[in-house]
Chain A
Amino acid sequence: MIPQLVTVRHRRRNGRSLRLYVPVVPILLVLSPLLLLGVLAGLVACLVFRVSPTGALRGTGRLLWALPGTRIEIEQGRTAVLVSVR
């Protein structure tokens, strides 16, 4: 399953916090033209550096599929950052 929702929380020193909920699939759909360009650029890079394009695509897909469940939480005093992938 590819990531569905990425949550980013940032708490500043003054106590104000920012919460960002990023729905991955709609964002990918909106950015699909750019994504296509990125994939093409990646394929060219693979050919230039003699890396198997299919292997690279498969590897990237596996990486994307394995992302859900990742959680990174860093807190220092009143400042905090949380990134969670679901």
Chain B
Amino acid sequence: MSQRKETAMNEQRRQILQMLAEGKITADEAERLIDALERARPESPPASESHPRRRPKYLRVVVNAADHPGAEPTRINIRVPLQLLRAGVRLTSLIPPPALARVNAELDRSGVPIDLTELKPQHLEELIDQLGDVIVDVDEPDTKVQVFCE
């Protein structure tokens, strides 16, 4: 919606409130008028819908590091399709319950009290879907690590 239309509607709302304050209309009438004004306002789509964001397809991991000054630099560039991660997490749903119980016990013993049986495939799906917003940027004098989706 244009800025001009928005301003006109605000002006009309202000006039209704002023008439209410002056006692020219009752509170019920003011409410009905404001409702009518709201209905007249066309639904403006959110900004994200008007310009849909491109869904990321790949997870990229880029590492540029040198173990110590003067050493040969190491460069790692990994691109993994997010679909592959999705397929991988779906496979985890096939892990038999006894194995999950053993993993849980080991995690608990290591001080990570996570119950993997509570992790459902749909949760993992959501996790992967939200990965698109993840950006990890580590910048040190000798090392630079970037994890992002593209």
A62 to chain B, nearest CB (A): 4
Q: Whole-angstrom distance between the alpha carbons of A26 and B96 in the complex?
A: 35
Residues of the B chain whose Cβ atoms lie less than 8 Å from the Cβ of A15: none
Number of interface residues of A (CB under 8 A): 24
User: Min CB distance, A78 to chain B, in Å?
Assistant: 8
Q: How large is the interface on B (under 10, 10 to 19, 20 to 34, 35 or more residues)?
A: 20 to 34
A70 B84 Cβ-Cβ under 8 A: yes
Per the bound structure, the CA–CA distance linking A59 and B95 in Å amounts to: 12
How far apart are the CA atoms of A72 and B61 in the complex, in Å? 9
Q: Say yes or no: A63 contacts B77, CB within 8 Å.
A: no
Total contacts A-B at CB 8 Å: 66
Contacting A59 at CB < 8 Å: which of B58, B81, B83, B90? B90
Answer whether residue B19 sits at the interface, using C-beta atoms and an 8 A cutoff.
no
Whether the Cβ atoms of B77 and A71 lie closer than 8 Å is: yes
Binding site of B, secondary structure by majority: helix, strand, loop or mixed? mixed
Segment 53-86 of A: residues with Cβ below 8 Å from B: 55-56, 59-60, 62-63, 65-78
In the assembled complex, which residues on chain A have CB atoms less than 8 Å from the CB atom of B76? 73-75
A10 CA to B57 CA, complexed, in Å: 27
- Inter-chain CA distance A67–B84, complex, in Å, is 6
B84 proximity list for chain A (CB < 8 A): 63, 66-67, 70
The answer to whether A62 touches B73 (Cβ under 8 A) is no
Chain A residues contacting B75 (CB-CB under 8 Å) are 73-76
Any A CB within 8 A of the CB of B49: no
Q: Is A28 an interface residue (CB 8 A)?
A: no
Closest 4 CB pairs of A and B: A77-B72, A62-B87, A66-B83, A66-B84
Q: List 7 A-B contacts (CB under 8 A).
A: A51-B94, A60-B91, A66-B86, A69-B57, A70-B79, A73-B77, A78-B72
Q: Which residues of B come within 8 Å of A, CB atoms? A: 57-58, 72-81, 83-84, 86-88, 90-91, 93-96, 99
